Amino acid sequence: MKPADSILFSGGAPGAEARFGDCAERHGVEEVNFTFDGHRIERHRGVRVLNHEELVAGDVSLAYVSRLMNRRYTEGPTLRKILQTLWYQVNNGQEIYVIGAIQDDQTVRGGTGWGAEFAKLCNKPLYVFDQDKNSWFVWTGDLWTPAGETEPVITHPHFTGTGTRTLTENGARAIEALFDRSFA
């Protein structure tokens, strides 16, 4: 796959999203970062500021997300908007790559977890690099399976890269290696 034919959909936030963007730029991959007015982001390449009407189109019930994720999401305008931008990221990507941590209940920790759950609901290929386990996992439709020796390679020109704001060194290396394998 040629980098010039590819687009990374992300959010430009500090941490994993910023590293995905750095790697995309370095490899010549186009970048679209969905955000909203007043949101602090690190990546300003390919910024797509969603207006009120667009954010509403990506809205989801926080009660529904809380039940699905087995945790409580409190009502707040910033959290709601972050979940709405994740909807756009996942909706536009055909393969989803997440940096975070898989919990015992098969969800991914934090707000990033909604992006992973939405990808599951959309039946999209989903990969998570679990920083705690220092390994890639693939969602099989029922459970997370270690990628093992077959680490993921980006195969679709429209892909999503998202994840935790608390990116560790092994998570950063995993993103860089993903791009190197995919766009060498």
CA distance 77 to 60: 13
pLDDT in the model for residue 149 = 80
How confident is the model over 94-143, as pLDDT tens digits?
Answer: 999 999 999 999 999 877 888 899 899 899 999 999 999 999 999 999 99
What is the residue range of 74's domain? 3-183
* Residue ranges in the chain whose pLDDT is less than 70: 59-76
**Distances, alpha carbon 3 to alpha carbons 23, 25, 152, in Å:** 11, 10, 16
Q: What is the pLDDT of residue 72?
A: 66
Looking at residue 17, what is its pLDDT?
97
Give the chain's domain count: 1
pLDDT given at position 81: 86
Q: Angle at CA 69, nearest 5°, toward 68 and 72?
A: 105
Kindly report the CATH number assigned to the domain that includes residue 30: 3.40.50.450
> What is the DSSP-derived secondary structure letter of residue 102?
B
Closest CA to 108 of 134, 81, 127: 127
* pLDDT for position 1: 80
